[in-house]
Structure 1
Amino acid sequence: MTFHPDLTATVAPSRARIHHVRAGELVGDTAQTSGMTRLEAVSGKTVGSERIWTGETHVAPSTNSGNHHHGEAETSIYIVSGRPAFVFHDGAGEVRIQTGPGDYIFVPPYVPHREENPDPDEPAVVVISRSTQEGIVVNVPELTPLPVAPA
């Protein structure tokens, strides 16, 4: 196998191999928000990642998460199952985005939001990736809009 010349530098052993995290190996020892369960798969803690965090979130039937944001992290969300809604404040009022399996959501840094699962029977399951190595979670008492610079 031929390596690119940029790959000849010495790296830590954990950074010189591909890591396989099996479905049953996800870790629940991460920041939590009421009404949901976060499970960590890829992080600085689990595989030594430096710039990404990936995991699952489960929102039980008929449940709302607490209001929260993810600090400096950009967050990408893929809807695996269920029909969760994502709620944030746009400055005029609360905005509710209804999703379904196969949809994606992008949450910018510091935007307070919450997840809601209105289904009385089916849990909502989503896969989350963040632009930081750890799953930053800051629980907040209410949804407030971020100040927006004039255009």
Structure 2
Amino acid sequence: MSAEQLNTTPVAPVVTRAGHLYGDTGQSGGALRQSGVSPEHTPATKIWFGRVSNEPGYRSLPHHHAEAETGGYVLKGHGRIYFGDDYSVFLDLYEGDFVFVPPFIHHVEANMSVTEELIWLTARTPDNLVVNLDDVDDSVLADYRRA
């Protein structure tokens, strides 16, 4: 059925091609966020979906995502999310794992490898809200090392 038959304004799928991800979005330290679908560069109004990468030995700053709910999928690598008092609680994630991060949870996302890149696919509603917090020393994060 055509758009004219539906008597609506024509709407079409929008493709963000490989190599053309949108990077002018909320960032936090060593976690590089790039969107494929977001309100900033597509007609999307209620979702941010993109790629988050951490180079070997890099981590995000402590942060939270305000009221946004976050779903993540580890496409490549070994990630760790630190949270809780003094970031003393953590979850390890590996290729193929999914994670849900509730709104307002203070956390740090780390690449636990010093040789391999970590790549997450992340969906967030309503948008990529990033509230950076005061940094912590690496020694606070159990087993984390940069090199």
State the TM-score, normalized to the length of structure 1: 0.81
Determine if the alignment matches structure 1 residue 139 to structure 2 residue 132. yes
1:10 matched to 2:8: yes
Number of the residue aligned with 2:95:
101
Structure 2: which amino acid aligns with 1:82? G
What do the CA deviations read for 1:2-37 (whole angstroms, capped 9, x no partner)?
Answer: 88xxx94634x5xx1111111211011111111111
Residue 23 of structure 2 is matched in structure 1 by: 28
Q: CA RMSD in A?
A: 2.2
- 5+ residue gaps, structure 1, are 144-151
What is the correspondence of 1:107-118 to structure 2 with a 5 Å cutoff?
A: 107-118=101-112
Give 1:109 deviation, angstroms: 0.7
Whole-angstrom distance in 1 between the partners of 2:44 and 2:66: 18
Q: Which residue of 2 aligns with 1:124?
A: 118
Q: TM-score, normalised by structure 2?
A: 0.83
Pairing partner for 1:69 from 64, 71, 74: 64
Cα displacement (A) at 1:103: 0.2
Tell me: CA distance 1:2–1:17, structure 2 relative to 1, closer, same or farther (3 Å): closer
Query: Which residue type is aligned with residue 111 of structure 1?
Result: I
Tell me which residue corresponds to 2:76: 81
For the 8 Å contact 2:23–2:34, the answer to whether it is kept is yes
Structure 2 residue runs without a partner (length 5+): 137-147
**CA 1:92–1:32: 2 relative to 1, 3 Å:** closer
User: Partners in 2 of 1:2 and 1:66 — Cα distance?
Assistant: 48
Residue 76 of structure 2 contacts residue 120 of structure 2 at CA under 8 Å; is this kept in 1? yes
Asked if structure 1 preserves the Cα contact closer than 8 Å seen for 2:30 and 2:55, the reply is yes
Work out the number of aligned pairs and report it.
135
Residue 51 of structure 2, aligned match among 45, 53, 56? 56
Q: Quick one: percent identity of the two aligned structures?
A: 33
- The corresponding residue for 2:145 is none
Distance 1:93 1:24, change over 3 A: closer
- Which amino acid in 1 is paired with 2:46? R
Aligned residue for 2:19, secondary structure, equals helix
Question: Contact 2:59–2:108 (CA<8 Å) still a contact in 1?
Answer: yes
Deviation sequence 1:109-131 (CA, Å, 0-9, x none): 11111111121100100000001
Residues 93 and 45 of structure 1, relative CA distance in 2, 3 Å threshold: closer
